[in-house]
C-alpha cells in the first residue's frame, strides 16, 4: 500500500498505463465522499455494484454494473458516496 508520501509513484502510474500495478490505497466512502490525494491509473473493485466518481477532468460519471475483481482504467479525483454501491475499492 502506498502512503500520501508516494505521490510521485501514483503520477508515474498515470503516465505508464501498460506497466504493472506498483502499489495501492484502499478507499472507504461509506461515511462521506472521498477526495483522492494521489493520482492513479485506475480503481480495483472487489465487490460488484455502481460507482459515482468525479474524473480528473472534472466530469461526474456514474458507472453501473461494475464487476468484482476488475481494475477499471479511470483517473478519478473523487469517489461520491450518493449512488455508489461497489465495495472494496483500491486505488491502483
User: Scanning the structure block, which residue is given the C-alpha cell 461520491?
Assistant: 80
What's the structural domain count of the chain? 1
Measure the CA–CA gap between 37 and 29, rounded to whole angstroms: 14
**Domain containing residue 48:** 4-91
Measure the CA–CA gap between 79 and 69, rounded to whole angstroms: 18
Three-state secondary structure string covering 20-84: CCCCCEEECCCCCCEECCCCCCCEEEEECEEEEEEECCCCEEEEEEECCCEEECCCEEEEECCCC
Q: What is the DSSP letter of 4?
A: G
Query: What's the pTM?
Result: 0.76
33-92 confidence digits (pLDDT tens): 999 887 777 899 999 999 999 998 899 999 999 999 999 999 899 999 999 999 999 988
Is 50 exceeded by the pLDDT of residue 11?
no
Q: Are 37 and 3 in contact (CB under 8 A)?
A: no
Q: What is the per-residue pLDDT for 20? A: 73
Amino acid at each position: 500500500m502506498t502512503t500520501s508520501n508516494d505521490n510521485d509513484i501514483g503520477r508515474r502510474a498515470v503516465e505508464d498505463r501498460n506497466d504493472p500495478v506498483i502499489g495501492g490505497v484502499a478507499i472507504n466512502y461509506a461515511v462521506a465522499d472521498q477526495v483522492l490525494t494521489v493520482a492513479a491509473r485506475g480503481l480495483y473493485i472487489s465487490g460488484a455494484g455502481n460507482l459515482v466518481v468525479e474524473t480528473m477532468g472534472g466530469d461526474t460519471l456514474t458507472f453501473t454494473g461494475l464487476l468484482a475483481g476488475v481494475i477499471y482504467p479511470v483517473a478519478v479525483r473523487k469517489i461520491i458516496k450518493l449512488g455508489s454501491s461497489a465495495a472494496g475499492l483500491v486505488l491502483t
